[in-house]
Amino acid sequence: MPQSLDELRYELALANRMCAHEGVLDAFGHVSARHPDDPNKYLLSRSRAPELVEPGDLLEFTLDSQPVTPTNVRLYGERVIHGEIYKARPDVMAVCHHHAAAIMPYCVSGEEIVPVYHLGAVIGVKAPFWDQRNDFGDTNLLVIEPAEGASLAKALGPHWVVIMRRHGATVAGRSLRECVFRSIYSVRNAEYLTQAKLLGTPSPLNRVETERAGDYNLAPGPVARAWEYWEMRLTKKGEAPPRGKATARSGKSAAKAKPAAKRKTATKKAATRGAKKTAKKGRR
């Protein structure tokens, strides 16, 4: 999916908001994307709640998670989660780090998450665990040092979802949309798995079913259908991101420049443009 930088910036802001709106992210957590033209860079918002991210908040980082252009805006503390995974996994184009309610009980109890329905197959055949204690002893549980990020990336290995003990999860994708789709449906899968465990004995997908159902659901058709749906849900609430050009670096983000009421209107117009674009794409 070759994509212009501007379009990707818009979609990345959208992805942050979608994940928030669908219950994957709250005040914390973030979605990043590898730079479309330079595999040695990635895009991530300045530090703010993902539901509020605008294209103008997105900054470029090196794979060592340093801002490409020096900045004095506040940055997320856990950027290395993204950078170290992009380093270790050239096939990964997007990363979502989250603390969704449905996966937290797995982070806390150490019970394994397995795919239990066709859409849950997007998790893949294994969601490995990572326990910061093993490599680093008693920490603040945040992933801030490059070594911590590298350890997490190593635990992820060739998989797509890694469960972080007493912390959350990190999800990777071969595209931004795949990453969002996997983030949302792995959360749904965890909800159903939990309830099934309380009711009786879950009968998970086997390896072949997981691979086949994963492939089917990550094909362009289903992903486009879900993307249109999540985008329209934001748009109907006037919560799709504005199509702002200003960068956070310049200190003139849309959020700062306009009062909320005007921004809302602008958001709606922008979202409409987005919705139409998506609709056309979905049809291809």
- Residue 70, interface with a copy of itself (CB under 8 A)? no
Give yes or no for a contact between 246 and 256, defined as CB atoms under 8 angstroms apart: no
Residues 105-144 touching a copy of itself, rule: CB under 8 A, are 105-111, 116-119, 121, 138-142
Nearer to a copy of itself, 17 or 126 (CB): 17
- The Cα–Cα gap between 58 and 43 comes to 6
**Per the structure block, which two tokens stand in for 214?**
């994963």
Distance of CA 97 to the CA centre of its chain: 6
Active-site entry in 22, 78, 178, 231: 78
- Residue 71, interface with a copy of itself (CB under 8 A)? no
Residues 205-234 touching a copy of itself, rule: CB under 8 A, are 205-206, 208-209, 212-213, 215-216, 221-222, 225-226, 228-230, 232-233
Nearer to a copy of itself, 39 or 221 (CB): 221
CB of 154 to a copy of itself, least distance (A): 20
- Residue 268, interface with a copy of itself (CB under 8 A)? yes
| Contact region with a copy of itself (CB under 8 A), list: 1-9, 59-67, 82-90, 260-268 | 260-268
- The Cα–Cα gap between 145 and 264 comes to 38
Nearer to a copy of itself, 41 or 146 (CB): 146
- The Cα–Cα gap between 232 and 274 comes to 9
- The Cα–Cα gap between 73 and 64 comes to 18
Does the annotation count 78 as an active-site position?
Answer: yes
- Residue 68, interface with a copy of itself (CB under 8 A)? no
Residues 33-62 touching a copy of itself, rule: CB under 8 A, are 47-49, 51-52
CB of 47 to a copy of itself, least distance (A): 6
- Residue 252, interface with a copy of itself (CB under 8 A)? no
- The Cα–Cα gap between 4 and 273 comes to 16
- The Cα–Cα gap between 62 and 67 comes to 6
Q: How many Å from the N-terminal Cα to the C-terminal Cα in the chain?
A: 12
CA distances 135 to 35, 71, 132, 148, Å, are: 30, 32, 6, 8
